Amino acid sequence: MTQPILQLKGVEKSFGSNQVLRGVDIDVVPGNSLVVLGGSGSGKSVMLKNALGLMTPDAGQILFNGEDVTHDQGREREAMRARIGMLFQSGALFDSLTVWENVAFRLLNAEKMKRSDAKERAIETLKKVRLGSSVADLYPAEISGGMQKRVALARAIITKPDLIFFDEPTTGLDPITADAINDLILEQVKALGAAAVTITHDMASARKVADEIAMLFEGRIIWRGPASSIENSGNAHVDQFVNGRADGPIQPAI
């Protein structure tokens, strides 16, 4: 069996009396695209932040390439992050930096690359997400939401990571732009041969980018299977979610 690039074992996380993750077990193999579905407040973002080391789990383990990185700090943590890309829900571009400085941020800061070389790499990467060199010197506030997402995608892939996280990549975009972003994600992830973990509640996005789909409910993974079997999962929770019905075992979060 292939060694998973990322494994979460019994990960638990609480905030005060609110237990968000109640033992999440999941693994991602290299080159595979996993989509984690879940309703609002199901703990998707918290799971992602634990996997990235932005939060430390209360219990359980996180393994990266088979090594326990749960409590890593400093250099070990940086070594892991150098091989991971992340596309934040809001894009999280740095307002005070231009588009190319955002894309080349890791090259300029962590890798101390010369500015001229870094800019060249940034413009090359912007081309991959169908953005021309004319946007390179603009600031994030000067471009549209869809373009910001593409810039954020360029920033996530510029160092050719082995694993990329996507936090609701299509949220806040119109269906056409969302589909274009899905196409770009699919294309770039396949080109890099990277593994991808996408958390979303957008079924169109999930169907498009997933090799495998998992469902997070009440802090646990309750179902997992190939993307093709999502329509007949045999799981009432998954059925309700996929078909977007208000009535069923999952209570709407309102």
Q: Are strands 67-68 and 59-64 parallel, antiparallel or unpaired?
A: antiparallel
Nearest residue (CB) to another protein, 64 versus 223: 64
Rounded Cα distance between 30 and 145, Å, is: 30
Q: At what angle do helices 145-157 and 175-192 cross, to 10 degrees?
A: 10
CB-CB contact of 119 with 158 (8 Å): no
Q: Least distance in Å: CB of 94 to another protein?
A: 6
Other Cβ atoms less than 10 A from the Cβ of 197: the count is: 25
What is the maximum alpha-carbon separation in the chain? 57
Q: Least distance in Å: CB of 81 to another protein?
A: 5
Nearest residue (CB) to another protein, 80 versus 238: 80
Q: Least distance in Å: CB of 223 to another protein?
A: 28
Rounded Cα distance between 71 and 58, Å, is: 11
CB-CB contact of 24 with 216 (8 Å): yes
Residues that bind another protein (CB under 8 A): 49, 52-54, 78, 81-82, 84, 86, 88-90, 92-95, 105-106, 109-110, 155
Q: Least distance in Å: CB of 167 to another protein?
A: 8
Nearest residue (CB) to another protein, 38 versus 53: 53
Q: Least distance in Å: CB of 142 to another protein?
A: 16
Nearest residue (CB) to another protein, 86 versus 199: 86
How far, in whole angstroms, is CA 166 from its chain's centroid? Answer: 2
Q: Write down the residue that tokens 């595979």 correspond to.
A: 32
Nearest residue (CB) to another protein, 160 versus 245: 160
Rounded Cα distance between 122 and 117, Å, is: 9
Nearest residue (CB) to another protein, 45 versus 235: 45
Rounded Cα distance between 47 and 183, Å, is: 25
Other Cβ atoms less than 10 A from the Cβ of 8: the count is: 23
Q: Least distance in Å: CB of 107 to another protein?
A: 10
